[in-house]
Chains A and B, each alone.
Chain A
Amino acid sequence: SQTIHQWPATLVQPVGSPLSLECTVEGTSNPNLYWYRQAAGRGLQLLFYSVGIGQISSEVPQNLSASRPQDRQFILSSKKLLLSDSGFYLCAWSRDRPTSGANVLTFGAGSRLTVL
């Protein structure tokens, strides 16, 4: 069966410090990978998605970047965090070629980032 792991689960960082959140998927190959952000009391905003190694699409302009160095690894980074980067970050994966319809997302447990 497939599993998705995210770490760290909780992170408190000062403004201006760097960020690295990691996500890995097991039990599947060539997944589509996604980073979503959930602000307090809000829905999910898609930040980045990737359909293959080294292929990153950004959905919104921001202080963050993403990378996919390996097939099942997806990393969210920042060189200098802003207060507005605080939130709950969720990694998700879906099959690259769905058997029918759009892709069902499977989410990790999330990483809560607090920038002080």
Chain B
Amino acid sequence: AQSVTQPDIHITVSEGASLELRCNYSYGATPYLFWYVQSPGQGLQLLLKYFSGDTLVQGIKGFEAEFKRSQSSFNLRKPSVHWSDAAEYFCAVGVNTNAGKSTFGDGTTLTVKP
């Protein structure tokens, strides 16, 4: 079965600073990887996804993520954080079946200092 680890429970960065959120996965086959963002009390919104091809993927809101098979990682990055980026971020690994079930990490809470 697949699993996802987000090592950082909480990260604080200053507005304008760069950001990297870590994600490590475990899956026996080719992974399908996702990053979602959740604002307080809301559902999750897809930021970006990796299925195949270019290992650097671009998403919405200026985010990008890089798939590194050798490290089993899919870290999320943003060069300059905005106060509105404060939220909880979830990494997920998907299964390539008709049901398309996804397994989520426990999330990383991002606080942005002014």
Contacts and interface: CB of A to CB of B under 8 A. Distances in A.
Contacts of B74: none
B43 A102 contact: no
Given A44-B90, A110-B41, A51 B96 contact: no
A70 B15 CA distance: 47
Contacts, number: 77
Given A43-B90, A49-B99, A104 B46 contact: yes
B74 to A, nearest CB: 13
A107 B100 contact: no
Nearest to A96: B98
Contact-residue bracket for chain A:
20 to 34
Contact of B44 (A6, A90, A101): A90
Interface in A82-116: 90, 92, 94, 96-98, 100-110, 112
Contact-residue bracket for chain B:
20 to 34
Contacts of B43: 6, 90, 92, 107-110
Q: Most chain-B CB neighbours within 10 Å: which of A6, A32, A43, A51?
A: A43
Interface of B: 4, 6, 32, 34, 36, 41-46, 49, 51-52, 90, 94-107
16 contacts: A41-B106, A42-B107, A43-B107, A44-B104, A46-B101, A51-B99, A96-B98, A97-B98, A101-B32, A101-B52, A102-B51, A102-B96, A104-B34, A104-B49, A107-B45, A109-B43
In the A-B complex, the 6 residue pairs with the closest CB atoms? A103-B100, A102-B94, A101-B51, A107-B43, A102-B32, A43-B106
